[in-house]
């Protein structure tokens, strides 16, 4: 991925990792467009960062996604980087699920169907560019799940798999496909912003930006804090990591 000179769309760009990436990528010399459902969050981000553009996107609505892609093509015809970052995370008690499974379905729609639909809608535009990049945001929990949030972890594991297939199918094009797998970062996702165990957001963004400067960019963008989860199986420590992760969260430690 070229480090500067891009036109970049970041979903979920009004807060958390999305906002951090938007601010850092703009500072690196890119045109940045953020998208999300919460207009207030988008407006706050753009007000604090003159030059960042915003568009409202309902990532759960396939009709809205298609209309959004048409608007992006019209307003930002040079778009060459898509960062699928938008996501939701909710605790679920699988022993006491409601009949409608509303939380699980919303997580699947936002975290998995949303990126798949948006990627499909924007591929024709990305294919027109001299070079382009798709970055799908998964999670360290794609590799070792936190049982408190089973559907979230399942969608991130699916994003990891989808990204591998997408990369292979696009290998004959000028579109590179990367995966960003964050560790536990201090954001408002599941109240992580106040948890001292979470990696500070500014440190996470700084390390990611350093990796993005590497040429060629690694297919998996992994900060040091996530490698214990990412390579738990390969290292032969999966059971210990899984049990430690889930026991710590269950005990509130």
pLDDT tens, N- to C-terminus, the chain (253 residues): 999 999 999 999 999 999 999 999 999 999 999 999 999 999 999 999 999 999 999 999 999 999 999 999 999 999 999 999 999 999 999 998 778 899 999 999 999 999 999 999 999 999 999 999 999 999 999 999 999 999 999 999 999 999 999 999 999 999 999 999 999 999 988 766 678 889 999 999 999 999 999 999 999 999 999 999 999 999 999 999 999 999 987 654 4
Q: What CATH code is carried by the domain that includes residue 131?
A: 3.40.50.720
Q: Which helix (H) or strand (E) holds 168?
A: helix 150-169
> The domain containing residue 14 runs over which residues?
7-226
198 falls within a domain: yes
- pLDDT value, residue 97: 77
d(CA 201, CA 60): 26
> Could you tell me if residue 238 is inside a domain?
no
In a domain? residue 32: yes
Residue 252, pLDDT score: 47
Q: Has residue 148 been placed in a domain?
A: yes
pLDDT the model gives residue 225: 97
Closest to 232 in 3D by CA, of 181, 193, 191: 181
Residue 126 placed within a domain = yes
State how many domains the chain has. Answer: 1
Q: pTM score, two decimals?
A: 0.95
pLDDT of residue 193: 66
Domain-located, residue 244: no
Residue 110 lies in a domain: yes
Can you tell me the distance from the alpha carbon of 54 to that of 45, in angstroms, rounded to the nearest whole number? 9
Asked if residue 160 is part of any domain, the answer here is yes
- Give per-residue pLDDT as tens, 111-164: 999 999 999 999 999 999 999 999 999 999 999 999 999 999 999 999 999 999
What number of CA atoms fall less than 13 Å from residue 101's CA on the CB side?
9
Positions annotated as catalytic residues are: 152
pLDDT at 184: 96
């Amino acid at each position: 991925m070229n480090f500067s000179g891009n036109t970049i769309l970041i979903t979920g760009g009004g807060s958390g990792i999305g906002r951090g990436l938007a601010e850092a990528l703009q500072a690196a010399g890119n045109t940045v467009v953020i998208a999300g459902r919460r207009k207030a969050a988008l407006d706050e981000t753009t007000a604090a960062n003159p030059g960042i553009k915003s568009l409202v996107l309902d990532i759960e609505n396939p009709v809205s996604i298609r209309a959004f892609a048409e608007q992006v093509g019209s307003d930002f015809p040079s778009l060459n980087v898509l960062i699928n970052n938008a996501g939701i995370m909710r605790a679920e008690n699988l022993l006491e699920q409601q009949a409608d499974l509303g939380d699980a379905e919303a997580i699947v729609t936002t975290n998995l169907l949303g990126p798949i639909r948006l990627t499909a809608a924007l591929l024709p535009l990305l294919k027109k560019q001299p070079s382009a990049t798709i970055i799908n945001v998964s999670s360290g929990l794609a590799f070792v799940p936190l049982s408190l949030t089973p559907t979230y972890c399942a969608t991130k594991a699916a994003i990891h798999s989808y990204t591998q297939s997408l990369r292979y199918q696009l290998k004959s094009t000028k579109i590179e496909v990367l995966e960003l797998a964050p560790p536990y970062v201090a954001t408002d996702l599941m109240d992580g912003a106040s948890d001292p165990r979470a990696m500070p957001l500014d440190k996470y963004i700084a390390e990611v930006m350093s990796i993005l400067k590497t040429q060629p960019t690694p297919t998996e963008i992994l900060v040091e804090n996530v490698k214990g989860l990412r390579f738990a199986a390969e290292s032969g420590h999966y059971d210990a990591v899984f049990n430690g992760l889930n026991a710590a969260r269950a005990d509130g430690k």
